[in-house]
Chains A and B, each alone.
Chain A
């Protein structure tokens, strides 16, 4: 059984059919790319997968569990987490607290533990600190743990967002244009990091990206979206040489 199975997904905003009859099957451990021109509906699909929007048609199933009708917070607990095209950090919180906020449902203690600082508070907070630093180390952010997220340079903010998404311990990680605004060096480094987290954390990745070097470099399978529907799917080699895709998206 595939990890993510989306069938006949669709949503309309007023008269606009932003996503229509969209299907996708992602196997466990896959690094999957979703590409397509601006306004094709890629981010809208992420919003549907994470419960930000409720679909007008179709079903979304993760590991056999139907996610339709669930809230974003519930879907996160079911095992999908994401980053955003426009970075959404907790900017007035420290880098460490950004990651610890994402550990909210994993290392828990009660309000009584909080108010009266019972031993469980200290124990779980220590556990959270250890876990958060461990994740920050993967992204080389541990030395910034005490800085406010707002004060990080752009590239590091992008990384922190991925770190935070990872902290929720997802089965499926959605990355919305992770390389946007990065220079070629940073992009190359990001590609290594994405491969590393797939292997080290044993998760599946679906990413949206306009940088074709990144896409062909790390994605094992691609779906091209155009006007809200699937234009083509397959391995990068096949898809990126498909004349239909070249006319609709890649140009020339």
Chain B
């Protein structure tokens, strides 16, 4: 087991090095003016999608439940956070940190509310209920006054644009670290054991209901945080921003990256955010190419080509998947 632990810390150090390198590269490119306006403006959306995908993976990949309401949690976070920063009058960072925490907490509360019916439903039924949940949230935001109805919120301060990339990057890294820490703990083991066999999980003393709700609450929290970051990047939010298309987009990212594969979620979120924008030039072919890439990624995932590539000796070692969960 000592060996195991050494491997573990070595992997950790490599991950930290990669994270720091990526940060340095992006900052250098930003400050050196090497990124086009379009590319710079994509940095934060990529981060938002990474947070959304990693948090959704907790429910679909690790708990093993299909949900289509993730955009609902995102919108709750976005609105709660934005209302705070619009009406509060505090220094930027203080305000933004409060908005992040409150946006996450309000979304987490709704995660708790939706987590309870989840205890009674499985599979397709759960997918339908969560889909309905997302649409209900949208409709409610559409009619109540404080959210300014269909017109949405306009004067959201730009706290998380690419000019403040550092704070956004820190939030992404924190999200990833916290979720990875969760997954590799006794709590995460309980969640994964429920996915694999909930009857056996109960039989070894794991309170299944508690951990299902816990997974929903934690996942919703980070989706809420992603919503806050999103809102303070674009400056305008409307109820229609967060419809089921957004939920499905996130689900597609998780499925393509691999269920229960955090690194896969990060890579897929990056590619699938960049791709549609890169294809903007070829406007009439855009959807076609997009679809072809999706299918290609799916085939690549399912064909065993990925496994062969990873086990080949030319494949860089630090990218190889570690045993168990990452």
Contact = CB atoms under 8 A, between A and B. Distances in A.
B182 to A, nearest CB: 6
Contact of B193 (A90, A128, A129): A90
Give the secondary structure class of B's interface. helix
A121 B199 CA distance: 27
A77 B207 CA distance: 11
B178 A93 contact: no
Interface string A12-48: 0000000000000000000000000000000000000
A102 B196 contact: no
A73 B193 contact: no
Central interface residue in B4, B206, B260, by most chain A CB within 10 Å: B206
Contacts of A107: 186
Nearest to B196: A90
A81 B204 contact: yes
Contacts of A164: 200, 204
B202 A90 contact: no
Interface string B285-326: 000000000000000000000000000000000000001100
A125 B1 CA distance: 11
B323 A167 contact: no
Given A93-B196, A117-B181, A100 B189 contact: yes
B253 to A, nearest CB: 21
A125 B323 CA distance: 17
Contact of A72 (B189, B190, B196, B203): B203
A6 B36 CA distance: 76
A77 B205 contact: yes
Given A73-B206, A93-B192, A111-B187, A101 B182 contact: no
A93 B200 contact: no
A201 to B, nearest CB: 16
Interface in A97-147: 97, 100-105, 107-109, 111, 113-117, 121, 124-126, 128-130, 133, 146
Contact of A108 (B181, B186, B199, B201): B186
Nearest to A146: B323
Contacts of B200: 84, 88-90, 164
Contact of A97 (B1, B182, B189, B195): B189
A50 B203 contact: yes
Q: In the complex, which range does the number of interface residues on chain A fall in?
A: 35 or more
A116 B185 CA distance: 11
Nearest to A77: B205
B208 interface: yes
A111 B183 CA distance: 11
Contact of B202 (A71, A89, A115, A146): A71
Interface of A: 50, 52, 71-73, 76-77, 81-82, 84, 88-94, 97, 100-105, 107-109, 111, 113-117, 121, 124-126, 128-130, 133, 146, 164-165, 167-168
26 contacts: A50-B203, A71-B202, A71-B207, A77-B205, A81-B203, A82-B203, A84-B199, A84-B203, A88-B197, A88-B203, A90-B200, A94-B323, A94-B324, A100-B186, A100-B189, A101-B206, A105-B205, A114-B181, A114-B188, A115-B178, A115-B182, A117-B181, A121-B185, A129-B4, A130-B1, A164-B200
